[in-house]
Structure 1
Amino acid sequence: MQKKSSFSTQGQRADIGELEIYRMLPNRYADAVGPFVFLDHIVPTIQTRINKEGTGAHPHRGIATLTYILNGEDEHFDSAGNYAMVHSGGVQWMNSGKGIIHDETLNYDSQTDSKVVHALQFWINLPSDIKAEKPAYLAIQGSDVPRKDLPEGKGWIKVIAGKFEDLRSVIPDYSEQFLYHIHLEAGAVFEIALAAELEAAAYLPEMPGIINGERFNAGDFIEFDRKEGTVELKNNEKKATDMLLFGGGPYQEPIFAEGPFVMNSKVDTAIAYRDFYNGEYGKIDYEKQRGQVK
């Protein structure tokens, strides 16, 4: 039996500098899908000026940030001393744990001829015991993201988080989670079965698509019911399209989200702010970190 869509919605503008951004999650219908509590879509843009200022150093606590760079290159700095430059198709993942300051700069990819920048950023809510751990970081280049071709040349699937068949992401699973990028050629169909306990949503970043027999528009965020069933993605367009499918087990603890912090109580949130203003998250040394990479 196919899962039914609970709702669909378009995002709200949340631009940063010259980046055009649509905030898809949270939205007026849902605050979370499985462990995912946030999704920003940096829409495809031709970049005419290099961004040298980044998005601005800012703190996080209680979440893991996951930036999936569809086109461009993303430079990461954080107060734990981590630095990396990840290119088109790659992923930046950071467990903020008990507190960290980070900054990211998205520019067009210096390794290609394309001037397009295009990315997605997710926040993954951490279980309360993980929120007290030390921060952690992974830089995953596009060639290291698990990928499998679909049968009969229908397209491919990338596993950004979680697992699919024999593919498994290197990103840690603190709870059940999945994030798939599914690329479908014209006329192709992809179907996946999901268990009853899983929450799931789909996102169509650039083109319309047919999901369980229902047509949705480009930019639509679609959440499904909680019943066991299948999700069928179909591309009826004349050219290839991309769809995101993500979710996981429902978060079992209270959620208190305020600004850059996602905690389990108002008291926890107040402590997160206190520790940040007391300087306990450290500082970023931009020149030192960039100079460590030859």
Structure 2
Amino acid sequence: MKKKSSFSTQGQRADIGDLKIYRILANRYADAVGPFVFLDHIVPTIQTRVNKEGTGAHPHRGIATLTYILNGEDEHFDSAGNYAMVHSGGIQWMKAGNGIIHDETLNYDSRTDSKMVHAFQFWINLPAKEKAEKPEYLAIEGNKVPYKDLPEGTGWIKVVAGSFDELSSAIPNYSEQFLYHIHLEPGASFTTDFAEKLEVAAYLPVLPATINDEKFNAGEFIEFDRKAGSIKLENDNQEAGDFLLFGGETYQESIYAEGPFVMNSKLDIAIAYRDFYNGDYGNIDYEKQRLKIL
């Protein structure tokens, strides 16, 4: 049985500097899909000048951030001393835990001739016990992201988070979660099954497509019912197209989100702000961190 769509919606503009961004989640219909409580889509753009300012240093607590770079290179700094540059196809993952300050700068990939930048940033809500733990960090280059070709040359799948068949992502799982990038050739389709009660959403970043016999536009976020069933993706276009499928088990604890913090109570939010203003999250030493790589 095919899963039925519950709703679909478009994102809202949330640009940062020269980066054109659509905020897809949270939206007017959904605050979360499984453990995912946030999704920004940095839409495909030809970059005409180098972005030196980045997003600006800012705090997080109670979540893990996951930046998936389709095109470009993403430079990461944080107040725990972590630094990395990840290129097209790669992932930056940071567990904010009990508090951290980070900064990211997205530019075109210096290793290629392309000036294209295109990326996604997700926030993954942590269980309460993980919100109290120390920050962690993981950088994964594109050739280390689990990948396999689909049958008969119809496309491929990358497992950014969670597992699919024999593929498992290195991103830690604190609850059942999945984030798949499916690439389909013109006229191709892909079908996968989901267990009951799993929350599942699809996102069409660039092209329209048909999902479970319904036509959706480019830029649409679609959430599905929680009954066991299948999702069939069909690329009706004359060019190859991309799909994101993501979600997981329902988050069982209370959720209070404000600004860069996602906690379990209003008191927790107040404490997160207090600790930040007290300087407990530390500071970023940009030059020292860059020297670690040189």
Q: TM-score, normalised on structure 2?
A: 1.00
Q: Structure 2: how far apart are the matches of 1:276 and 1:26?
A: 24
1:19 match: 19
* 1:218 is aligned to 2:218: yes
1:43 match: 43
SS of equivalent to 1:262:
strand
Q: RMSD value over aligned CA atoms?
A: 0.4
1:168 match: 168
* 1:133 is aligned to 2:133: yes
Q: Structure 2: how far apart are the matches of 1:190 and 1:54?
A: 36
Q: Structure 1: how far apart are the matches of 2:236 and 2:279?
A: 53
Q: Structure 2: how far apart are the matches of 1:244 and 1:168?
A: 16
Q: Structure 1: how far apart are the matches of 2:124 and 2:218?
A: 24
1:158 match: 158
1:115 match: 115
Q: Structure 1: how far apart are the matches of 2:73 and 2:102?
A: 16
1:206 match: 206
Q: Deviations over 1:60-103 (max 9, x none)?
A: 00000000000000000000000000000000000000000000
Q: TM-score, normalised on structure 1?
A: 1.00
* 1:93 is aligned to 2:80: no
Letter in 1 for 2:37: V
2:263 match: 263
Q: Structure 2: how far apart are the matches of 1:154 and 1:43?
A: 25
Measure how far apart 1:54 and its partner are: 1.3
2:145 match: 145
Measure how far apart 1:236 and its partner are: 1.0
2:84 match: 84
Q: Deviations over 1:198-249 (max 9, x none)?
A: 0000000000011000000000000000111000000111111000000000
Q: Could you tell me which runs of 5 or more consecutive residues in structure 2 were left unpaired when the two chains were aligned.
A: none
Letter in 1 for 2:32: A
Q: Structure 1: how far apart are the matches of 2:197 and 2:219?
A: 26
Q: Structure 2: how far apart are the matches of 1:284 and 1:199?
A: 36
Letter in 2 for 1:85: M
Q: Deviations over 1:32-77 (max 9, x none)?
A: 0000000000001110110111110000000000000000000000
Letter in 2 for 1:187: G
Q: Could you tell me which runs of 5 or more consecutive residues in structure 1 were left unpaired when the two chains were aligned.
A: none
Measure how far apart 1:269 and its partner are: 0.4
Q: Deviations over 1:265-287 (max 9, x none)?
A: 00000000000000000000000
Letter in 1 for 2:196: A
Could you list the runs of 4 or more consecutive aligned residues of structure 1 that deviate by over 2 angstroms after TM superposition? none
